[in-house]
Structure 1
């Protein structure tokens, strides 16, 4: 336990076996702070996560480890943070988020949690720490531009805090939403045109989890490329190993969370390899917001409109599988103009923004 001034204490969060467990209070508080921050910083509620859907991702420590920290003044919880590290040998990065809402941001709580997380990351042998902040779609009189030069976000207390502590804003991501209650004939037309352009060497394959056994290796291969083939500015994303066993673990974690995930992918017929994919996921409430997890076309097969193919194919499939979901929400880097062009053509509109921050730890 770290003791701080003004009776502020920070302790490592108890990780419960379930959200109904007797020691679940701290995890539930962290989840609540996360959701409250999303609303405060984006002025929307599309990023809401249910604790029961979050917990399995914390409990599975096969490939990465998440640690939580709770800040209290007296008995009152006034903030939280998490620190996520890869279990890959040689990994040097850590990802964190500071979960503090006004008015506690200006009272020293956020600074105390940030200092604590930095110390924990160093103790774990990490030399690079990454953070994300959320921002509304509306601008302000003080806008921040990342090192990439693409996009900008409205400054607020947490962005000022990170800048004052030596973090560099490396990237801006756009959160976009698409209403699902409208006519999808445009997506149908875009799919037909893109498929014709790609040609007969490519075909669409789709599935819902669990991933069929014969597709696990190929799905793992293309999922691993998310760390190397997606625009990331100067954010360091370490390579990940995705074999068939990891795909099985990934699928089990989604199932344990009560979530439902659909994948549409493109197979390159001559090589038999999966070269593009799109994922859509929803929580236990099938009438809630749908989130896009990953979309990627591997570098060697770009220029064939395969991004349009997988996005439109999965969108049309999703309408049949989950007809009650009102909205799809997706994140894309502001420098990823090809993918933003596809989103905008389908009808996605900006909802909020996220900024990626990075600091070298001494």
Structure 2
């Protein structure tokens, strides 16, 4: 850790642990401690560390071809895109690498669609976003962030975005005008603390976008691919957006893979030369991504997230009033608000680390719990037991 502090820029404030090995839901640090991973790479490790099918796909492809660039076809890309499009229920896939790259891609597609199809005058296309959003770290994306830590000091900012409160349909409708190209939202706000919108909000967004001829763009980078108990979080309310933005778990925890998925009347506005990526759609990424789609096609992981998510929520609810102020969850994804008079989210995370559990704090007093979907019921119970012990010990100390 001392070496890392000396030679690495401090763009993160990691917990004091150095991981050396990982398998399924467990990681081992350089001191030999075995730790239960309840962050799962912010959902990049939905299938656990080193899933055999994903490793096999990667190993096989490493011996064949890893990178060709999009100057040529490769034999892995079209099958991957066909399978992903079928899983999503859309016509076309635009493959990229990172989540932020996919968000930037969706922004470009939405603007070009607005000019070429909707007829918005040049230079006037507007995209509406939600407050407390997290879509990435590029200069364009932080331009519409409301988090001062992520945004301040990186101007001048990219214009063309309008921010409204998350979950507020009236504010969203008031913001939509003839120049609006898209509404870009997370169906569940992860970085904000696993914030679930009010019932009816997502269907309301869908209806408004359809009525006003605006694209509904759903950032499912963290919430998608089984995490919430459905393949996509939008499905909990029967909503189908015009564009899905996917990432994290699409790479199986092995390589960065992201994609924008939409129908041909939307993605068809992109023509050769409009957009590209040297590594986007490379053979290794396509092979791993295709293996991820195969895992999701079985429905096993969605079912596990539903069943074990119910168990996690039931156990966490028992802590409300005993050091926990509130719990928000969907599937195997929970935001737990710790009583700030007891400890901060960072302190809770550090104390859980001492007890063999890895979680991460956000927004002061909140911790996020998002284990791999391969976690077992007894492991769910054990992680909640550790949190209960941390809270009980802190409460006893405070009353002394």
Q: Same fold (TM over 0.5)?
A: no
TM-score (norm 1): 0.28
Query: Which is richer in strand?
Result: 1
Query: Which is richer in helix?
Result: 2
TM-score (norm 2): 0.26
